[in-house]
Amino acid sequence: MKIVLAFSMLLLSFFVSGSVFAGEIKGGYISHIATVSGAILFGVNGGEGTGRPLCATTGRFAAKKDSEHYHAVLTAFQMGKQVNLGSVMGLGTCKLINNSEDLRWIEINNE
Protein backbone atom coordinates (compact mmCIF):
# COMPACT_ATOMS: atom_id res chain seq x y z
CA MET A 1 0.00 0.00 0.00
CA LYS A 2 2.84 2.41 0.86
CA ILE A 3 4.47 1.74 -2.51
CA VAL A 4 1.24 2.54 -4.38
CA LEU A 5 0.79 5.74 -2.36
CA ALA A 6 4.41 6.82 -2.98
CA PHE A 7 4.07 6.10 -6.71
CA SER A 8 0.80 8.05 -6.86
CA MET A 9 2.44 11.05 -5.17
CA LEU A 10 5.35 10.86 -7.62
CA LEU A 11 2.97 10.85 -10.59
CA LEU A 12 1.00 13.75 -9.14
CA SER A 13 4.16 15.82 -8.66
CA PHE A 14 5.17 15.07 -12.27
CA PHE A 15 1.87 16.37 -13.67
CA VAL A 16 1.77 19.40 -11.39
CA SER A 17 5.38 20.36 -12.17
CA GLY A 18 4.47 21.32 -15.74
CA SER A 19 2.41 24.27 -14.57
CA VAL A 20 4.77 25.15 -11.72
CA PHE A 21 7.70 25.52 -14.13
CA ALA A 22 6.00 27.47 -16.90
CA GLY A 23 8.44 29.95 -18.38
CA GLU A 24 7.92 33.68 -18.64
CA ILE A 25 9.98 36.40 -20.27
CA LYS A 26 9.24 40.07 -19.67
CA GLY A 27 10.55 42.65 -22.10
CA GLY A 28 12.95 42.15 -24.97
CA TYR A 29 12.31 41.46 -28.63
CA ILE A 30 12.02 38.43 -30.89
CA SER A 31 15.55 37.80 -32.16
CA HIS A 32 14.96 34.88 -34.51
CA ILE A 33 12.22 32.63 -35.88
CA ALA A 34 12.16 29.25 -37.55
CA THR A 35 9.47 26.90 -38.79
CA VAL A 36 9.51 23.14 -38.45
CA SER A 37 6.89 20.37 -38.40
CA GLY A 38 3.88 22.69 -38.50
CA ALA A 39 5.21 24.98 -35.75
CA ILE A 40 6.88 28.36 -35.50
CA LEU A 41 9.81 28.59 -33.10
CA PHE A 42 11.20 31.86 -31.77
CA GLY A 43 13.75 33.20 -29.35
CA VAL A 44 13.64 36.35 -27.24
CA ASN A 45 16.63 38.61 -26.52
CA GLY A 46 16.93 41.37 -23.98
CA GLY A 47 14.17 40.21 -21.64
CA GLU A 48 14.20 38.82 -18.13
CA GLY A 49 13.21 35.16 -18.04
CA THR A 50 12.07 32.96 -15.17
CA GLY A 51 10.74 29.46 -14.60
CA ARG A 52 11.64 27.75 -17.87
CA PRO A 53 10.95 23.99 -17.85
CA LEU A 54 13.87 21.58 -18.15
CA CYS A 55 12.68 20.40 -21.57
CA ALA A 56 13.19 23.89 -23.10
CA THR A 57 16.90 23.36 -23.67
CA THR A 58 17.07 25.78 -26.63
CA GLY A 59 15.42 28.66 -24.74
CA ARG A 60 12.87 29.02 -27.56
CA PHE A 61 9.08 29.02 -27.53
CA ALA A 62 6.91 27.08 -30.02
CA ALA A 63 3.41 27.68 -31.39
CA LYS A 64 1.31 25.88 -34.00
CA LYS A 65 1.41 27.52 -37.42
CA ASP A 66 -2.39 27.83 -37.45
CA SER A 67 -2.65 29.29 -33.92
CA GLU A 68 -3.60 32.83 -32.99
CA HIS A 69 0.03 33.38 -31.95
CA TYR A 70 1.54 32.82 -35.41
CA HIS A 71 0.80 36.27 -36.89
CA ALA A 72 1.66 38.06 -33.64
CA VAL A 73 5.08 36.39 -33.58
CA LEU A 74 5.73 37.25 -37.25
CA THR A 75 4.67 40.86 -36.76
CA ALA A 76 6.83 41.27 -33.66
CA PHE A 77 9.80 39.74 -35.47
CA GLN A 78 9.37 42.10 -38.44
CA MET A 79 9.31 45.10 -36.11
CA GLY A 80 12.60 44.00 -34.52
CA LYS A 81 13.87 46.18 -31.69
CA GLN A 82 11.09 48.71 -32.32
CA VAL A 83 8.71 46.46 -30.40
CA ASN A 84 8.94 45.66 -26.71
CA LEU A 85 7.49 42.35 -25.61
CA GLY A 86 5.38 42.90 -22.51
CA SER A 87 5.20 39.25 -21.53
CA VAL A 88 5.79 35.92 -23.22
CA MET A 89 4.42 33.00 -21.19
CA GLY A 90 4.78 29.29 -21.81
CA LEU A 91 2.73 26.29 -20.78
CA GLY A 92 5.59 24.48 -19.03
CA THR A 93 5.49 21.73 -21.64
CA CYS A 94 7.41 20.93 -24.83
CA LYS A 95 4.82 18.94 -26.79
CA LEU A 96 5.08 20.65 -30.21
CA ILE A 97 8.88 20.53 -30.40
CA ASN A 98 10.65 18.52 -27.71
CA ASN A 99 13.27 21.21 -26.91
CA SER A 100 11.12 24.39 -27.07
CA GLU A 101 8.41 25.49 -24.61
CA ASP A 102 4.82 25.56 -25.88
CA LEU A 103 3.49 29.11 -26.01
CA ARG A 104 0.58 30.14 -23.77
CA TRP A 105 0.47 33.84 -24.68
CA ILE A 106 2.46 36.69 -26.12
CA GLU A 107 1.93 40.37 -25.31
CA ILE A 108 3.36 42.97 -27.68
CA ASN A 109 3.86 46.64 -26.80
CA ASN A 110 4.53 49.16 -29.56
CA GLU A 111 6.77 51.55 -27.65
Please name the CATH architecture into which domain 21-109 falls.
Beta Barrel (2.40)
Of 104, 31, 6, nearest in space to 64 by CA: 104
Spans of all domains in the chain: 21-109
Residue 4 has pLDDT above 60, yes or no: no
Q: Is the pLDDT of residue 14 over 60?
A: no
Q: How confident is the model at residue 5 (pLDDT cuts 50, 70, 90)?
A: very low
Question: What span, in angstroms and rounded, lies between the C-alpha atoms of 5 and 49?
Answer: 36
CB contact at 8 A, 64 and 36: no
Do 77 and 16 contact (CB within 8 A), yes or no?
Answer: no
pLDDT tens per residue, range 26-59: 999 999 999 999 999 999 999 999 999 999 999 9
The yes-or-no verdict on residue 10 having pLDDT over 60 is no
pLDDT at 30: 95
